[in-house]
Amino acid sequence: MLRLAVIALLLANAGYYAYTQGWLRSAGLVTPEQAEPQRLQQQIRPETLKVLRAQGATPTPAPPPPAAPAAVDPAASAPMAAAAPADAGECLQAGVFDEKQAAALRTAAAALPQGSWSLEPTPITGRWMIYMGRFDDLETLDKKRAELRARKVDFDRAGGTLEPGLSLGRFSTEEGAQRALTALNSQGVRTARVVLERQAATGFILKLPAVTDAQRQQWLATLRPAMAGKTLGSCG
């Protein structure tokens, strides 16, 4: 009995499968059409159908239309050439000049543009020297040099109006010079003494705040004869 039931179930399933696949269409057994437009024909008053928005929902705004591309100005898009920096000039200075030298510089610099130069005052401190001399002749000078070398004492030419003579040191204060002389006396130096080589005074510094490359050679040629052998260098 159970076997007959299983066979009957299998036959029923096979028949239903053949029916749904349309294999029994020749026998007049046709599966109802479920595709369009049959489903549309089964709708009941579709014109009354309304789409309702959920309470509290915010409608999604339509995206704005794409903006038209902006016109490109060829001149604006072209790379700008870097402007060449103007030659602002270099600050140059020379000195220190004494009052007499400064007077000569004022005369020479008068040929330069107004405001292009200045002579700025600066203090010149006094200077003291440990001095040996003035010697009667060069033979005596050479003999004294030999004595100082034997005692291992450094020396230099005295210079200026103190020639022929020897300097055993220069100092910014008289006190410092006297202390150094005492030390030399202990080394056997007996004939040296402290002299004032230069008085304290007011000096001057020549300053050219903005000399361009085009001006440099002409201005130097104008000032050089009055610069007492000094040279211009960068300020600061």
Kindly tell me if the per-residue pLDDT of 154 is higher than 90: yes
**CA-to-CA dists, residue 162 to 102, 130, 139, 174, angstroms:** 24, 12, 17, 18
β-pairing verdict for 118-124 and 201-211: antiparallel
CATH architecture type of domain 127-198: 2-Layer Sandwich (3.30)
- In angstroms, rounded to a whole number, what is the distance separating the alpha carbons of residues 197 and 170? 8
**CA-to-CA dists, residue 24 to 7, 8, 17, 19, 35, angstroms:** 21, 19, 10, 6, 19
Lowest mean pLDDT among 23-37, 129-143, 180-194: 23-37
Which position has the higher pLDDT, 12 or 99?
A: 99
Lowest mean pLDDT among 41-55, 151-165, 210-224: 41-55
**CA-to-CA dists, residue 62 to 15, 65, 66, 71, angstroms:** 54, 9, 12, 26
Residues in the chain: 236
Kindly tell me if the per-residue pLDDT of 38 is higher than 50: yes
Is 134 strand, coil or helix?
coil
Instruction: State the DSSP code for 31.
Output: P
Instruction: State the DSSP code for 37.
Output: T
Kindly tell me if the per-residue pLDDT of 78 is higher than 80: no
Which position has the higher pLDDT, 70 or 214?
A: 214
Query: What's the pLDDT at 84?
Result: 45
Query: What's the pLDDT at 59?
Result: 56
* Cα angle value 128/105/209 (rounded, 5°): 100
* Shared fold status for 90-124+201-234 and 127-198: yes
Mean pLDDT of 60-66: 61
- In angstroms, rounded to a whole number, what is the distance separating the alpha carbons of residues 17 and 27? 15
Q: pLDDT by residue (tens digit) across 93-109?
A: 998 899 999 999 999 99
Which position has the higher pLDDT, 171 or 214?
A: 171
Kindly tell me if the per-residue pLDDT of 148 is higher than 50: yes
Domain assignments of the chain as residue spans, ordered by start: 90-124+201-234, 127-198
Kindly tell me if the per-residue pLDDT of 64 is higher than 60: yes
Which pTM does this prediction carry? 0.47
Kindly tell me if the per-residue pLDDT of 41 is higher than 50: yes
Kindly tell me if the per-residue pLDDT of 80 is higher than 70: no
User: Nearest-CA neighbor of 202 among 56, 67, 129, 103?
Assistant: 103
pLDDT band at residue 88 using 50, 70 and 90 as cut-offs: confident
Kindly tell me if the per-residue pLDDT of 73 is higher than 70: no
- In angstroms, rounded to a whole number, what is the distance separating the alpha carbons of residues 149 and 146? 5
Q: In the chain, pLDDT over 70 holds for what percent of residues?
A: 70
Contact 219, 108 (CB under 8 A): no
| DSSP H or E segment with residue 18 | helix 2-20
Query: What's the pLDDT at 89?
Result: 84
- In angstroms, rounded to a whole number, what is the distance separating the alpha carbons of residues 34 and 46? 18
CATH 3.30.930.10 fits domain 90-124+201-234:
no
Contact 70, 188 (CB under 8 A): no
Q: Output the average pLDDT for the chain.
A: 81
Give the chain's end-to-end CA distance (angstroms, integer): 125
